[in-house]
């Protein structure tokens, strides 16, 4: 990744501080939002896993199971994009000291659903191809096009223009963007481990069939929190890139939703 001279100041510490402030200030709303939006994907995953467990003795994966797996991947991309769009809207509402409404977040995400689907599917394909090429190209793709969804939500330039705009915004700051994302991932993993530990203790206390149900539900919650946290992180990264490169303010960005 080449590192050209940046126009302004992009600080990893400031990105993480804002991300934590926004996320934990709205953790209930964002978690509920993620639970609602991602529920179809989790339901499909549950039945796919159950089907796989029931057919473990089979010599090969059935066509039905393979189709369900592919649908799960596609659904994850689509719903993940929708959640990112919804949380991006909520993040800028919060940064602008406005009330974060779950209904408004979902509504604004749905308005951009065709655009978000196009971006999410294309980004997923590019990232997968990059990761197959010895990982490094995948990391480059990830960082270069990381803020495509926030660009689409705020600026609404179209699918391919969103990729070009993300590439322009991250240029010269990609190592710092990567650093922000990696530290954010570490924080997210730490949070997930804490919740997971609580779930283990809860499962041990409940025992029997209740422990299985508790494990499924906790995994659902952990995944939802992780999706929401990363969406906030990416939205804040986009904001800080706009500030560093263009001197944009929160009010300027949030004004597009008025």
**What distance in Å separates the CA atoms of residue 159 and residue 148, rounded to the nearest whole number?**
8
> Cα separations (Å) of 44 from 40, 70, 104?
6, 11, 26
- Give which of 157, 160, 23, 45 is closest to 100, Cα–Cα: 23
Per the CB < 8 A criterion, the answer to whether 240 and 10 are in contact is yes
Q: Which residues contact 192 (CB under 8 A, 6 or more apart)?
A: 222, 225, 226
At residue 156, the pLDDT reads 86
Q: Residues 85, 160, 154, 94: is their CA dihedral positive or negative? A: positive
- Statement: the pTM of the whole predicted model exceeds 0.75: yes
Residue 195 has which token pair?
């919740």
- Give which of 90, 110, 86 is closest to 100, Cα–Cα: 90
Per the CB < 8 A criterion, the answer to whether 127 and 73 are in contact is no
pLDDT tens for the chain, 258 residues long, are 544 444 568 999 999 999 999 999 999 999 999 999 888 877 776 666 555 545 544 445 556 666 767 777 778 888 888 999 999 999 988 988 888 889 999 998 898 888 988 998 888 888 888 778 777 888 888 999 999 999 998 888 889 999 999 999 999 899 999 999 999 999 988 887 887 777 677 666 666 555 556 666 777 788 888 889 999 999 999 999 998 888 877 777 766 666
Please identify which residue in the block is written with the tokens 């809860």.
Answer: 202
Residue 32 has which token pair?
């509920």
Cα angle value 79/147/33 (rounded, 5°):
35
Q: Which residues contact 140 (CB under 8 A, 6 or more apart)?
A: 1, 130
> Cα separations (Å) of 86 from 1, 69, 70, 82, 95?
30, 25, 24, 6, 14
**What distance in Å separates the CA atoms of residue 165 and residue 173, rounded to the nearest whole number?**
14
Per the CB < 8 A criterion, the answer to whether 239 and 253 are in contact is yes
| 97 SS3 class | coil
**What distance in Å separates the CA atoms of residue 143 and residue 234, rounded to the nearest whole number?**
10
């Amino acid at each position: 990744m080449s590192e050209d001279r940046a126009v302004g100041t992009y600080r990893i510490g400031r990105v993480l501080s804002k991300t934590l402030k926004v996320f934990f200030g709205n953790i209930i709303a964002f978690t509920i939002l993620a639970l609602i939006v991602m529920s179809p994907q989790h339901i499909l995953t549950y039945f796919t896993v159950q089907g796989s467990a029931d057919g473990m003795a089979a010599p090969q994966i059935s066509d039905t199971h393979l189709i369900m797996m592919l649908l799960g991947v596609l659904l994850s991309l689509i719903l993940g994009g929708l959640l990112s769009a919804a949380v991006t809207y909520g993040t800028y509402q919060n940064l602008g000291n406005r009330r974060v409404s779950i209904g408004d977040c979902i509504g604004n995400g749905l308005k951009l659903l065709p655009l978000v689907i196009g971006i999410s599917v294309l980004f997923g394909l590019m990232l997968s191809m990059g990761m197959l090429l010895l990982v490094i190209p995948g990391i480059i793709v990830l960082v270069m096009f990381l803020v495509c969804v926030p660009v689409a939500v705020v600026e609404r330039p179209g699918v391919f223009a969103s990729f070009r705009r993300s590439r322009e915004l991250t240029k010269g700051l990609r190592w710092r963007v990567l650093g922000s994302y990696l530290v954010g991932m570490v924080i997210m993993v730490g949070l997930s481990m804490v919740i997971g530990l609580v779930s283990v203790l809860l499962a041990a206390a409940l025992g029997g069939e209740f422990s299985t149900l508790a494990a499924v539900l906790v995994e659902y919650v952990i995944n939802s929190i992780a999706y929401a946290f990363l969406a906030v992180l990416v939205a804040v990264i986009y904001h800080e890139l706009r500030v560093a490169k263009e001197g944009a303010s929160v009010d300027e960005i949030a004004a597009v939703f008025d």
